[in-house]
Amino acid sequence: MLFILWFKFGPENTHKVIELWKHFKYPTDVKLINRYLLIGRHTSVAIFDATDEEALIKIVGPFSGLGVAHISPAMNLEDAIKVAW
């Protein structure tokens, strides 16, 4: 399933978060699609495929003391508009 993670961190944690991202290894069952830094927003974003909730915990856990992680499942808009609402 596709997920989007946005991680808000305080300005005082910027360098710690960047260092953590430099060395962070995603769980083997997670397919990273891309990562972004929202410049001037103290927010990083990751888009990835994960198979279960355990993978989500493994991704956000190392960052938990530095800010707040938000995760949401996502769906391609072209696929979503075909779904009967």
Q: Cβ–Cβ contacts within 10 Å for residue 23, how many?
A: 7
- DSSP class per residue in the chain: -EEEEEEEE-GGGHHHHHHHHHH----TT-EEEEEEEETTTTEEEEEEE-SSHHHHHHHHGGGTTTEEEEEEE---HHHHTTS--
CATH number (domain holding residue 15) = 3.30.70.920
- What is the pTM assigned to this prediction? 0.88
Total number of domains in the chain: 1
pLDDT at 76: 92
Is 63 a member of any domain? yes
Q: Are 9 and 70 in contact (CB under 8 A)?
A: no
Is 19 a member of any domain? yes
pLDDT at 37: 92
Q: Identify the domain containing residue 8 by its residue range.
A: 2-80
Is 55 a member of any domain? yes
Is 31 a member of any domain? yes
Is 85 a member of any domain? no
pLDDT tens digits for the chain (85 residues)?
999 999 999 999 999 999 999 999 999 999 999 999 999 999 999 999 999 999 999 999 999 999 999 999 999 999 999 998 8
pLDDT at 28: 93
pLDDT at 32: 96
pLDDT at 20: 93
pLDDT at 84: 84
Residues 6 or more apart whose CB falls under 8 angstroms from that of 62 comprise 20, 24
**Residue whose token pair is 């993670």:** 5
